[in-house]
Amino acid sequence: MEHEGPILEALTRRLGECPPDFLAEPRRPGGQGKIDVAAVVSDLLEAMGGSPLTDPEGFCYPNARAVNAHRNRLRLILVGAWLLFAGELRRVPQAAERAREWLSTRMQELSPYVQADQLVQDPDRREEFVRLALKALDLRPAGESIEQAQDRLVTLSSVERARVVKEAQAAERRAREIREEMARKAAEEAAAAWGRE
């Protein structure tokens, strides 16, 4: 987030205006579905001054049985491509390489927590997604310091929220186990003391 990027509101507005085609069903093995995700990503990379994909792996279903596991990830990639087609993002130095990395790896991380439709409909998810895209391009929203941009991203992060919830649940489970163990030991001690009397 070293460099100041565009105004956040302009990008969240763009994301909110995502055309239905970018939310359509990704093409599946066997020809079902509407959008060829790898072709969209190749077009984006070329528009950013990079090379098109030579290997569509990561931007398609790995096989016909994996449709449910990968559908949302591919839809997130499509929405991400729509966002990155914004002129002010296409002109960022090394944008193509950074975009390829972000779309191929980070959508996998986000897909269990955020549905593609939420990126268009929910204001917090829009802002989160825009901030993630800016971070991937080493940008921060115009008018924000690096610290402000990082703090706001952590505050909105669906992945971070899921991590905190998981840690809290693990801590509660451990505390319950400790309480149960203490109660068991107290009962054993009480029984032993009663037996001595």
| Tens-digit pLDDT profile for residues 106-145 | 999 999 999 999 999 999 999 999 999 999 999 999 999 9
Q: Distance between alpha carbon 152 and the CA centroid of its chain, in Å?
A: 15
The per-residue b/e assignment along 86-115, b for 16 or more CB within 10 angstroms, e otherwise, is beebeebeebbebbbebbbebbeebbebbe
**Domain final residue, candidates 123, 138, 156:** 156
Q: Are residues 127 and 164 both part of a single domain?
A: no
Pair 113, 19 in one domain: yes
55 and 149 within one domain: yes
Residues 113 and 165 in one domain: no
Mean pLDDT of 36-49: 94
Q: What confidence score (pLDDT) does residue 37 get?
A: 94
Whether residues 151 and 97 share a domain: the answer is yes
Q: Residue 23: is it exposed, middle or buried by C-beta count within 10 angstroms (0-12/13-18/19+)?
A: middle
Looking up tokens 């669906």 gives: 158
Q: How many independent structural domains does the chain possess?
A: 2
Kindly report the pTM of this predicted structure: 0.79
135 and 52 in a common domain = yes
Q: Is residue 178 domain-shared with residue 131, that is, in the same domain? A: no
For the ranges 20-24, 27-31, 55-59, 168-172, which has the lowest average pLDDT?
168-172
Query: What domain range is 136 assigned to?
Result: 3-156
Shared domain for 184 and 138, answered yes or no, is: no
Mean pLDDT throughout 8-12? Answer: 95
**Is 70 exceeded by the pLDDT of residue 163?**
no
Annotate the chain with three-state secondary structure: CCEECCCHHHHHHHHHCCCHHHHCCECCCCCCCCECHHHHHHHHHHHCCCCCCCCCCCCCCCCHHHHHHHHHHHHHHHHHHHHHCCHHHHCCCCHHHHHHHHHHHHHHHHCCCCCHHHHHHCHHHHHHHHHHHHHHCCEECCCCCHHHHHHHHHHHCHHHHHHHHHHHHHHHHHHHHHHHHHHHHHHHHHHHHHHHC
pLDDT of residue 161: 63
Asked whether residue 130 falls in the same domain as residue 177, the answer is no
Q: Based on the domain organization, do 79 and 95 belong to the same domain?
A: yes
**CB-CB contact of 76 with 116 (8 Å):** yes
Residues 115 and 35 in one domain: yes
Mean pLDDT of 9-24: 94
Residue 197: band (very low, low, confident or very high) from pLDDT cuts 50, 70, 90 = low
Locate 141 and state its tokens. 């929203």
Q: Average pLDDT of the chain?
A: 87
Whether the CB-CB separation of 84 and 99 falls below 8 Å is answered with yes
Same domain for 115 and 190: no
